[in-house]
Amino acid sequence: MSRRPPAPRAAFAGRMILDDAWRREDFSGRRVAVVGPGREVACVVPAALRSAERVTVFLDEPDWLLPAGPAPVRGALGALGRVPALDAVLTRPVARLQLRRHVDDAWTRRLLTPHRFSHRRPGVDLAFYDALADPRCRFIAWPVYAMAPQGVRTAEGIEHRVDVVVLTPAARIRAELREPATAASTAGTAAPVADTQETAS
């Protein structure tokens, strides 16, 4: 499930936070959008949700997430995940069980399941799955198409209004690569607006 990164970033009038700068940010009273691949988004969302008014998750590409056990155990499982034969018989079953234990909805589990041929390095579930169940957190299934002045526009044409957008490192790189080719095509277009508290997908 490959997603298109947001572009152009300059269109967004709110606060844009790149890479790991979110670690120093206080999100109190603000609506936050988090854009990036699974293992990076899994780090940001639980932390942002501690203070944000609400968090909207735009998953660029899902990753398998391992339980947050002792660091040596996580490291060993992650290393095994880089070996395709061991990944299939050990790492993926552990990550799949973690997903099933924490996400009840079958459709959401499907959206959070990586492509069968994906060999991306697994991440760690730092309460990300539990955060998705929080009423202040929304998981948007539609891929991101572009940034809009007041938020994030998804592929079905809805603008999700937020105060802050967090672009993880991978999402930022993809956006920078895409910006020159798409800036002209996204300028001046209007879209329906949805506050992220309401149903927008």
Q: Would you list the domain boundaries of the chain?
A: 1-201
Tell me how far apart the terminal alpha carbons of the chain are, to the nearest angstrom: 17
Written as one letter, the residue type at 110 is R
Instruction: Tell me the pLDDT tens digit for each residue of 86-98.
Output: 666 678 888 899 9
15 by Cβ neighbours in 10 Å (0-12 / 13-18 / 19+) ranks as middle
Q: The whole model's pTM is what?
A: 0.76
pLDDT category of residue 79 using cuts at 50, 70 and 90: low
| Spatial separation of the C-alpha atoms in residues 88 and 69, rounded to whole Å | 20
pLDDT score of 60 more than 80: yes
Specify the residue for token string 């603008």: 159
Instruction: Please compute the mean of the pLDDT values over residues 149-156 and round it to a whole number.
Output: 91
| pLDDT, average across residues 174-181 | 55
Q: What average pLDDT does this structure show over 125-148?
A: 92
Query: Is the pLDDT assigned to residue 133 strictly greater than 50?
Result: yes
Stretch among 28-37, 53-62, 118-127 having the lowest mean pLDDT? 118-127
Most confident of 63-67, 84-88, 117-121: 63-67
- Neighbouring residues of 88: CB distance < 8 A, sequence distance ≥ 6: none
Q: Where are the beta strands (DSSP E) in the chain?
A: 15-18, 31-36, 54-59, 65-67, 123-125, 137-140, 144-148, 151-154, 159-161, 164-167, 193-195
- CATH class of the domain whose range is 1-201: alpha beta
Contact in structure between 125 and 98 (CB atoms under 8 Å): yes
Tokens of 72: 């040596």
- pLDDT at residue 171, as a whole number: 73
Q: Does residue 147 have a pLDDT over 80?
A: yes
Q: Which of 36-50, 110-124, 169-183 has the highest mean pLDDT?
A: 36-50
Q: How confident is residue 193, by pLDDT bands cut at 50, 70 and 90?
A: low
The length of the chain is 201
Instruction: Determine the average pLDDT of the residues in 121-150.
Output: 90
User: Is 34 in contact with 166 (CB distance < 8 Å)?
Assistant: yes
Q: What is the pLDDT of residues 18-50, one digit of tens each?
A: 888 999 999 999 999 999 988 899 999 999 999
C-alpha 193/C-alpha 150 separation (Å) is 9
Distance CA 110, CA 6 (A): 23
